[in-house]
Amino acid sequence: MKPYDVMIVGGGMVGLALACALSTRTRLSVVVLEARAPSLPWSDAGTYPRVSALSLASQRIFQSLGVWEALQAKRVSPFSQMEVWETPGMNAIQFSANQMAETALGFIVENQAMQSALEEKLAQADRVDHFRGVDLVSFKEDQHQVTLSDASGRVFQASLAVAADGAHSWLRQQAGIQVDTLSYQQAALVATVKTALPHQRVARQVFLPSGPLAHLPLSDPRTSSIVWSLPTEEASACKDMAIDQFKQQLAQAFSFRLGEVKAVESRHVFPLYKQQAKQYVLSRVVLVGDAAHTMHPLAGQGVNMGLLDAASLSDVMEEALHRQKAFDAPLTLRRYERWRRADNAGLLAGVDLIKSVFASEHETVCRMRGAGLRFVNHFSWLKTCFMRHAVGNRSGLPRLARNG
């Protein structure tokens, strides 16, 4: 099989976004190797439990890749307001897109919709091959290239290999890149729910003593995706709980903000842990997305971080080629690592701090927490600063994610 310039292991959203970026911004040859068999075609009638909250920066990445219109044609749910509160105490903070002269704070999108739109775009790309159902079994690396082979005997070679194969990355392990891991001793319960009251395109999150519960508004005015972080055993119990009991417990946990829970679909549970690779680059292997980092879902930034990884790696490779330098040179790849690892480390630390502050039941911390929420909510300029960073309207972004 012909050698490629770039080999991307993992055909999820981040891996496909990187492939699309390289195909539209460079003339590099790319191959995507995906372990999963081809997914079923997107169906407007289908329901897909996994959703992501896309920032405005992520929206701009999809627009730059020519994918946003296809995504909108599937299902995109913009939200223009966000409410965050704690209980007990009921101190709250509200955010509005109007405060930033934007029409939306973000977009709730089903992961399957993003996957489908990216696959459709990639199918039109030149210089990109996409193999599915690839069971990789061996890894070799020398000073010129990386060689992978699969269980059927096929051999894939490239100058650069990118690990986009998730938190338990096979390629990362084969390359010998170590990770720092911290279990939160929690699991995320994910489900699609219908409520008595409409969500009015408001994203809501309550910090409970057991963990945060988020309601993410979907396109139907009374349908939301929930992400409920709970101690692992409690999450499993809620997953297996009788449906009527679960509906009552969920509505009560949310202080009946959306009234009674009328229906619940497809409850799933996922373990929660923080992970950060000690290196994002080692020789001819580069990490992006969950292969490089995972985080607690309370900030809803996981996919956004991964998309910024893909856009940033594409950026530094494109710039190197423009300067007639090697796209896979150590200096080029180290620039990506310094850029993204520092940015991600700051966000991971910030999320851990928020989680610790809201999980504490210490009286002094509780008083300070409530005072902090009231203080931020009172000063619109301070809220705007927080919002601009959260939605991706900030400096230091890759070109694909910038305004204009």
pLDDT in tens, 136-163: 999 999 999 999 999 999 999 999 999 9
Q: Does residue 279 have a pLDDT over 70? A: yes
Q: In terms of residue numbers, what domain contains 138?
A: 4-77+110-181+274-401
Q: Which of 272, 303, 334 is the last residue of a domain?
A: 272
d(CA 13, CA 16): 5
CA distance 58 to 396: 14
Instruction: Tell me if 98 is assigned to some domain.
Output: no
Q: Residues 244-272: what's their mean pLDDT?
A: 95
Please tell me the predicted confidence (pLDDT) of residue 123.
93
The pLDDT of residue 40 is above 80: no
Q: Quick check: 327 pLDDT over 80? A: yes
Q: How far is CA 1 from CA 33, 130, 145, in A?
A: 14, 13, 14
pLDDT at 370: 62
Could you tell me if 176 and 295 lie in one domain? Answer: yes
Residue 324 pLDDT > 90, yes or no?
yes
pTM above threshold 0.85: yes
Cβ burial, residue 250 (10 Å; 0-12/13-18/19+)? buried
Q: Are 375 and 394 found together in one domain? A: yes
Last residue of a domain, one of 254, 272, 290: 272
Across the range 61-86, mean pLDDT stands at: 93
Tokens of 41: 């075609």
Q: Is residue 87 part of a domain?
A: no
- The reply to whether 368 and 263 lie within a common domain is no
Average the pLDDT over 163-175 and give the result. 98
- The residue ranges of DSSP E strands in 56-200, in sequence order, are 76-79, 81-86, 92-96, 106-110, 128-132, 136-141, 146-150, 155-163, 179-195
Nearest to 11 by CA among 171, 128, 170, 164: 164
| Rounded percentage of the chain residues whose pLDDT exceeds 70 | 87
Q: Tell me what the mean pLDDT of segment 246-269 comes to.
A: 95
CATH code at position 208: 3.30.9.10
Lowest-pLDDT range, 148-152, 292-296, 311-315, 325-329? 292-296
Backbone angles phi, psi at 141, to 5 degrees: -145, 135
**Predicted confidence (pLDDT) at residue 348 exceeds the cutoff of 90:** no
**pLDDT band for position 386 (50/70/90)?**
low
Question: Average of pLDDT values for 272-284?
Answer: 96
